[in-house]
Structure 1
Amino acid sequence: MNRTLRHVLPAVAAVLLTVALAACGESASTATGGGGTGAADPDTLVFAAVPSEQSTSLQADFKPVLDMLARETGKKIEFRQATDYAAVIEGQLSGQVQIAQYGPLSFVLAQAKGAAITPVGAQISAKGATPGYQSYAITKAGSPIKSIADFAGKKICFVDPNSTSGYLYPTAALLQAGIDPTTGIQPIFAGGHDASVLEVASGRCDAGFAEDSMVDTTLIQKGQLKPGDITTLWKSDIIPGSPVAISTSLSPELQAKLTDAFQNKANADYLKANGFCAGTCTVGDGGYWGYAPVDNAFYDPIRKVCDTTKNKNCTTAS
């Protein structure tokens, strides 16, 4: 896919998702009712998410959680798989999405653009873990590129303009190395963390960025990479984990039910014990155990990096 098309697709995807959500009917579009207006909560709650890798099975990955939410709330839970975070943000801004799984940057951006949302949990890989991960700068094994300073003038793969580990933190690293992220390199948006890594492994990108688990475990477990195929030459500070956010326009009672559901029941132990899944039980497409409670302040480090980099993607969706 050429680079021009990569930049056009996110905008098209946002339009398509908005149209698709509008087709959900009046029950979904009444999401702006609830808490602040006295209007009834919608009968259908729309849950939107973006896959962390090329996937057609994201709904199946979230099915145990969706079924649990339906039981806990008494509502129909309708899932929407979006192509990029811009589409999810537009869905929450328009009131068509009541629940959304975000990346940290896209959550901060959604709030900055005026979405009436609050984070209720962040993904964790194991019970009791602190929600967080890292961005890696990577090259193909044997590459002459040895540091981020060597990225100047090269074809560099990113994930998505609204990706935290796949763009925001990498741009901060490039700036620190004295490289302009837009003019000092040849930026290529791969569209997924897996795609960014595989483009580097194939040599189509000279170097790139992706989240830690995609490099360390996911692609190796899937047989798409062998240990040693990729060299990691930089690791970011710990990034606050990816949040799930709910609309604050819902009634306080429904918000409380959703908060309790994500913080105490949307986890592998509860879902398996209560028959929502059998065998290996994970939450989402990253093999997560579940969610840990978080609040708005937890994402202040993202806002600080935004202030430092003056990254336009912190205030405007690409």
Structure 2
Amino acid sequence: MSNHAINRRDFIKGSAALAAFGAFAALTGCTAGGSGAAAGSSDDADKAEELTMVWLPDNSAADLTAARDAFGAAITAACGRPAKLMTTTDYNVAIEAIASGNAQMALLGAEGYVQANKKNKAVQAAFTNSDDEGGLEGACYYSRICVRKEDADAYKDGDGYSIANVEGKSFSFVSATSTSGFKVPSSAIVSEFGLDGSDVLLEPGSFFSEVLFGNSHAGSCVNLMSGDVDAAAFDDVDVDMYLDLVEGEKNTVGAVYKVKDDAEAPLDSARGKEFVIVGITPVLNAPVCFNNDAISEEERTKIVGYFCSDEVSNNPQIFVDPDDESVKGIFEKDSEKTCFVEVDDAWYEPIRKLGA
């Protein structure tokens, strides 16, 4: 399998998505990273036309190369075509790649998927990672608004915390096309303050004194921990591998997280620093999607069937052991029943409604 790194300047400039949110319990993140050929790929597969899969910035990190390679090898096992893994440094590049058909497959956040589908209806959700019971009812992760621990008292609300005091502060989002790094947190703020929309949140000096973008969830966390902003939005699944929970219950308001003493880049500069969650919302798990005009129905059926099989759900390189800190993965084997399950476009309708 080959790797193709691409940046915004080399590609078509994508359009940024501005959106609104609310207390809706549903919704969802690339740097250039290299990887080699899929292990076990046949000579026939090597001669076949490559199938390109594009990855968002957080999933393009170098330390996830093995996880991407395992995913690519599974694509080849399913349909016989070698996988080209396109890593990116910009959300819009990934969205444009799948919408244009330059990539046949993508793993996008829920909002990124909605944006790609809006550009081209041929982009359709295919499958996502399940909840602990192997279904969709609890298939979610979390969007968090966080502040540094030393500043947390300013966000106190009785015995807990709230986002009521973020107005006038400096703030970091992930990207304007990130579900959990923009759409969900911005919508929460719009709802909390009764704003007309999220546009004002992007204008420095309007609602926030300053607005930064991390371009990845880890990057937004770095913006917070480095002191560049007062508060920041980022999710759990893309940063928790760098963190230890030191106080409270996981993914709840008031929980305190500490950057690990041996955290790797980009959080290596924030080792030992702590933050507190002051706002949190569940988000629909990210879909793996196809551009149906760029890949045959037969191949789509083979890929979906294989990825939703026990062979993939029990592959420790695709679903990594969450207790094994030596292994970095995109998906975790949270229970014996964790697997990929089929989804369709309608499952992401709640995301569209947030922007209505």
Task: Render the CA deviation track for 1:79-137: whole Å, top value 9, x for unaligned.
Answer: 11111221112112222100101011000000011151221111347562632112111
Partner of 2:353: 304
Q: 1:279 to 1:100 in 2, by over 3 A?
A: closer
Indicate the percent of aligned positions where both proteins have the same amino acid. Answer: 22
| 1:218 maps to 2:241 | yes
Partner of 1:35: none
Aligned-residue Cα RMSD (Å) equals 3.1
Q: Distance in 2 between matches of 1:73 and 1:50?
A: 23
Partner of 1:141: 149
Q: TM-score, normalised by structure 2?
A: 0.67
Partner of 2:344: 295
- State the 1:288 CA deviation: 2.7
CA contact (8 A) 1:158 1:189 kept: yes
Partner of 2:75: 69
Partner of 1:247: 291
Partner of 1:22: none
CA contact (8 A) 1:44 1:78 kept: yes
Q: TM-score, normalised by structure 1?
A: 0.74
Read off the aligned partner of 1:98 and give its amino acid letter: Q
| 1:189 maps to 2:213 | yes
Matches within 5 A, 1:9-28: 11-12=8-9, 14-15=11-12
Partner of 2:36: none
CA contact (8 A) 2:67 2:329 kept: yes
Q: 1:306 to 1:284 in 2, by over 3 A?
A: farther
- State the 1:157 CA deviation: 0.7
Gaps of 5+ in 1: 1-8, 18-41, 308-318
Partner of 2:247: none
Gaps of 5+ in 2: 1-5, 15-47, 156-161, 245-259, 264-269, 334-338
3-state secondary structure, aligned to 1:162: coil
| 1:91 maps to 2:97 | yes
Q: 1:226 to 1:104 in 2, by over 3 A?
A: same
Q: Distance in 1 between matches of 2:60 and 2:116?
A: 23
Q: 1:252 to 1:55 in 2, by over 3 A?
A: closer
CA contact (8 A) 2:54 2:107 kept: yes
Structure 1 stretches of 4+ with a deviation exceeding 6 A read 225-228, 276-279, 281-284
Query: Number of matched residues?
Result: 269
Q: Distance in 1 between matches of 2:75 and 2:109?
A: 21
Q: Distance in 2 between matches of 1:58 and 1:68?
A: 16
Partner of 1:20: none
3-state secondary structure, aligned to 1:48: strand
